[in-house]
Copies of this chain bind each other. A is one copy, B any other.
Amino acid sequence: MSYNTFGREFRFTTWGESHGPALGATVDGVPPGVLLSEDYIQRFMDRRRPGTSKHTTQRREADQVRILSGVFEGVTTGTAIQLMIENTDQRSKDYGDIATSFRPGHADISYHLKYGVRDYRGGGRSSARETAARVAAGAVAHAVLAKLAPDMQIIGYMVQMGALHLDRDRFDADAIDGNPFFLPDAGAVEAWSDYLDGIRKDRNSVGAAIEVLVRHCPPGLGAPVYAKLDTDLAAAMMSINAVKGVEIGEGMAAAGLTGVDNADEIRMGEDGPMFLSNHAGGILGGISTGQDIVVRFSIKPTSSITTPRRSINSRGEEIEVITKGRHDPCVGIRAVPVAEAMAACVLLDHLLMDRAQTGGLRGRIGQD
């Protein structure tokens, strides 16, 4: 994994800036003979596309993906796949102060300190626009997983937005795609909507927590001790813009538990081990057990707000910054499909790695 590349066997390299001509992903290590089309990828793109509800940036991007290589007559050839998304709604306005001023909590200043030069238009490389390329790469991973692990399901949803938390007793996976928050509770949508309207009216923004649930993940995925499945999932989520924390299963709460409470006891099921609880989040010793995998992460509120904040500019002058333009009051919303994409890439990567090392052989239980 190098600077702009993620993954080992299944790898993608993303490129492009928010206001450049295009951005995309170069995807490598893809098995041959997998059905893949631009339409298939587009369905994933549309879930994170901006401007689809009043709760996301009003920037209008078609986010049309073009497959430039690696697919022939509708199937993957095993060679590198280039996915390109042209930027169509980057406004060529005068950026004025933005070029030299640093938004508090934004990567402006750290890019300036590291590189000395940066594409300041719309955040350049540090813009969440980069996540469009992740979703495109994730769609390729989904296409391969559909063939190699057809039962696997990867489901992302919001569990918190600022002061509001998901009521887990009301969890309804079917509700997720029916509302702009990817919220698994239809009944709470209106309250979340009103809350976020208030945040925006206050010229403010708000953080969020997202959870990704992986059902029917085969056991045995994960390569201890530095390519553990949970390690790679943590890296995948932490690499998403604005993420500040990642949890597997009990996550930070594990610090408060005792060994008696935390033990996921095991009984013998009809087709293998049956766990009586899932504090572990489906991963033990960095290897999947076959239980549901549960990953959670937090997204900080965007630093691009219209409430003035104190800062400095590159000349060292003290200034006040107000970020105009089109920004999501809660960037966490659109992080849901991004997280699903990253999870798909990690799981496929480990499926291929496991196939390389073990050939997919599994230790048997109760059969000898």
A42 neighbours in B (Cβ, 8 Å): none
Q: Chain A contact residues (Cβ within 8 angstroms of B): what range?
A: 35 or more
Complex Cα spacing A23 to B68, Å: 7
Q: Give the residue name and chain of the B residue nearest to A359 (CB).
A: B355
A146 adjacent to chain B (CB < 8 Å): no
| Residues A239 and B228 in contact, CB atoms below 8 Å apart | yes
| Residues B102 and A258 in contact, CB atoms below 8 Å apart | no
| Residues A362 and B227 in contact, CB atoms below 8 Å apart | no
A363 adjacent to chain B (CB < 8 Å): yes
Complex Cα spacing A117 to B364, Å: 10
* Chain A 205-240 near chain B by CB (<8 Å), digits 1 or 0: 111110000000001111111111011101100110
| Residues B254 and A300 in contact, CB atoms below 8 Å apart | yes
| Residues A79 and B224 in contact, CB atoms below 8 Å apart | yes
* Shortest distance between the CB of A9 and any CB in chain B (Å): 5
A180 adjacent to chain B (CB < 8 Å): no
Q: Give the residue name and chain of the B residue nearest to A205 (CB).
A: B259
* Chain A 234-269 near chain B by CB (<8 Å), digits 1 or 0: 110011010011111111111111111111111110
A307 neighbours in B (Cβ, 8 Å): 259-260
Give 16 A-B pairs besides A107-B285, A241-B285, A263-B309 with Cβ atoms closer than 8 angstroms.
A3-B80, A14-B80, A24-B82, A68-B84, A77-B124, A104-B265, A110-B285, A114-B354, A226-B239, A231-B239, A244-B254, A252-B252, A255-B332, A279-B300, A280-B300, A314-B365
